Amino acid sequence: MGNLDSKHPQYAQHAPDWRQQRTTFAGERAVKDAGFEYLPPTAGQRTDGITAPEQDGYQDWDAYKRRAVFHEFHREAVETMLGVMHNKPAQFELPAVLEPLRARATLRGESLDMLLRRINEEQLKLGRCGIMGDVVEGQDLPHIALYHAEDLINWDDGEREDGVESLNLVVIDESEQVRTSDGFEWENVEKYRVLVLGDLVENEQGESGARYRAGEFRDKAQFDESELAEPNIRGRTLEEIPFRFVNVKDVVAEPDQGPLLGLSSLALAIYRGEADYRESLHKQSQDTFVTIGLVKEDGKPLRVGAGAHVSLPSGPGNDAKWVGVDSQGLTEQREALQNDMRRAESKSNALVEAVSSAAESGEALRIRVSARTASLNQIAWTGAFALQELLRILARWLGASEAEIEKTTVTPNLDFVDERLAATELSTLMGSKMLGAPLSLRTVHGIMFERGLTDLTFEEELEEMEKEAAAGMPGSGNADGGDGVSSTSDPVNPNEEQPGNNDPNADPDKGADINSNAKK
């Protein structure tokens, strides 16, 4: 049997993209620490030697790298999109047995909402992650663990007899830094978790029982199937692996391409362009002094600059001059960089621009944003669906009824536009009412409620206004409801013609009460 660190073929295919996206998200230090991988040396640097730090070529490349600027478009885009996706909380419907997970779903003490946020973050960063339900020995409540794409090294989604795919193997690299026994030093410890459905190898009868087993192994070359155990909660075991892959568009085992891979690659292209451009600028200011006809024999260096004197022998053709890099290509380099940066900013700031336009109405903004947020909708639904499926497995593990399992749902926030009612809009509404628009106070309140300006009902608002008026609070109006608003249970009917000054040409100083249409 092979080693536990064996990789799935699709893992090897996607690993370079995952490594690149993880690095560009980490920022400039991580990109520069990657060395030649993202900033290859120039031909001249290779000629001068690039294999050892003391070589001229390596030192030139190191200065070349230090002058370069890496713009963190990838991180900014992820954080912006994540903020948009979670500007309102997701909704969780849980059976009683899972209620404790609402506030504490992971061993880190994260709530379900925080866990979903981390899932979405990994989807945006790399386009892939995994979530697993597990139980600590001696406890009767499971928890959920989140794994990065790079940790999920091997899997098998083979077929059952009915032709339906069923995940039957997951190998997770859990290697980590562990503090040593002396209390101060740290060392890397190899650790692999193996999740299996049934037997790894069929028995002589060609059967492999559909039971979930799992085990943790410290030596990649010492796997022993007999050490796999059946995790149980209150004596219950599972007939499926409590694990779900989370991609961009689906929850199957096959990896997706990261949604921001193009932006990550563009950020690296700008980084290399920055290095070349700044190297050219540096060399422009580092001209070389050339003498023609002067042969020095004393071995002393030739001094140049203020206070120095260069004496050339007499004779035809003798000369002294400064020779520098031609600047003709700098303009093209600068324009190319500017074009690339505009593209990157457009990619990373598209959603910010989409949700920050205050000049549009809420509905117009929603329509315009819908096309731009299609991919975010997809990511949000996929992450929520994967978490919902895992929660249903855990509910089944805890003995919940099928009705309770069916009602276990995770509904992500898909309202990416902040439609909170602005003060200017409210002023416009009330101004229209003063000018005779057939608009009741109940309707205005309904708009305020829908747009997040209040969470009280119309009757509750009237009660609060009465309390304020009774207390003599500034701006509360009269004690009977203030500005002509009755607090009785007989509400204003917006479809009923109300008495009052509805003439838009009437003198505003004569009876143009802001609430003149309210029922007296």
Give me the mean pLDDT over the 391-399 stretch. 96
- The yes-or-no verdict on residue 359 having pLDDT over 90 is no
Binned at pLDDT 50, 70 and 90, residue 497 comes out as very low
Give me the mean pLDDT over the 144-169 stretch. 84
Residue 503 vs residue 406, higher pLDDT: 406
Q: How far is CA 412 from CA 86, 92, 146, 187, 415, in A?
A: 9, 9, 18, 40, 9
- The yes-or-no verdict on residue 460 having pLDDT over 60 is yes
Residue 434 vs residue 451, higher pLDDT: 434
Give me the mean pLDDT over the 227-249 stretch. 93
Give dist(CA 150, CA 19) in Å, integer: 8
Neighbours of 248 (CB within 10 A): 19
Which pLDDT does position 210 carry in this prediction?
79
Candidate from 112-126, 139-153, 300-314, 339-353 with smallest mean pLDDT: 339-353
Helix axes 73-85, 9-26, angle to 10 degrees: 100
Which pLDDT does position 61 carry in this prediction?
95
Which pLDDT does position 285 carry in this prediction?
64
Which pLDDT does position 504 carry in this prediction?
42
Which pLDDT does position 449 carry in this prediction?
82
The answer to whether residue 449 is domain-embedded is: yes
The answer to whether residue 58 is domain-embedded is: no
Which pLDDT does position 301 carry in this prediction?
74
Q: Which long-range contacts (CB under 8 A, 24 or more apart) does 484-490 make?
A: 484/513, 484/515, 484/516, 484/518, 484/520, 485/441, 485/515, 485/518, 486/462, 486/518, 486/519, 486/520, 487/459, 487/462, 487/463, 489/459, 490/519
- The yes-or-no verdict on residue 159 having pLDDT over 70 is no
- pTM, entire model: 0.72
Residue 115 vs residue 279, higher pLDDT: 115
The answer to whether residue 162 is domain-embedded is: no
Binned at pLDDT 50, 70 and 90, residue 395 comes out as very high
Give me the mean pLDDT over the 105-131 stretch. 96
The answer to whether residue 81 is domain-embedded is: no
Candidate from 66-80, 136-150, 244-258, 437-451 with smallest mean pLDDT: 437-451
Residue 87 vs residue 121, higher pLDDT: 121
The answer to whether residue 469 is domain-embedded is: yes
- The yes-or-no verdict on residue 503 having pLDDT over 60 is no
- The yes-or-no verdict on residue 494 having pLDDT over 60 is no
- The yes-or-no verdict on residue 475 having pLDDT over 80 is no
Binned at pLDDT 50, 70 and 90, residue 417 comes out as low
Domain coverage including residue 473:
420-520
What integer best gives the mean pLDDT of the chain? 82
Which pLDDT does position 374 carry in this prediction?
53
In sequence order, the 6+-apart residues with CB closer than 8 A to the CB of 238 are 211, 212, 231, 393, 396, 397
Which pLDDT does position 139 carry in this prediction?
83
Give me the mean pLDDT over the 242-265 stretch. 93
Neighbours of 70 (CB within 10 A): 24
Which pLDDT does position 115 carry in this prediction?
97
Please count the structural domains in the chain.
1
The answer to whether residue 183 is domain-embedded is: no
- The yes-or-no verdict on residue 160 having pLDDT over 60 is no
Which pLDDT does position 222 carry in this prediction?
84
Which pLDDT does position 163 carry in this prediction?
56
Give me the mean pLDDT over the 232-246 stretch. 93
Binned at pLDDT 50, 70 and 90, residue 369 comes out as very low
In sequence order, the 6+-apart residues with CB closer than 8 A to the CB of 108 are none
Q: Do 372 and 348 meet the contact criterion of CB atoms below 8 Å apart?
A: no
The answer to whether residue 318 is domain-embedded is: no
Which pLDDT does position 122 carry in this prediction?
97
Q: Do 124 and 253 meet the contact criterion of CB atoms below 8 Å apart?
A: no
- The yes-or-no verdict on residue 366 having pLDDT over 90 is no
Which pLDDT does position 509 carry in this prediction?
46
Give me the mean pLDDT over the 186-205 stretch. 80
- The yes-or-no verdict on residue 360 having pLDDT over 60 is no
The answer to whether residue 20 is domain-embedded is: no
Tokens of 309: 């004197």
- The yes-or-no verdict on residue 365 having pLDDT over 50 is no
Which pLDDT does position 477 carry in this prediction?
55
CB hemisphere CA count around 485 (13 angstroms): 23
Tokens of 156: 């098998």
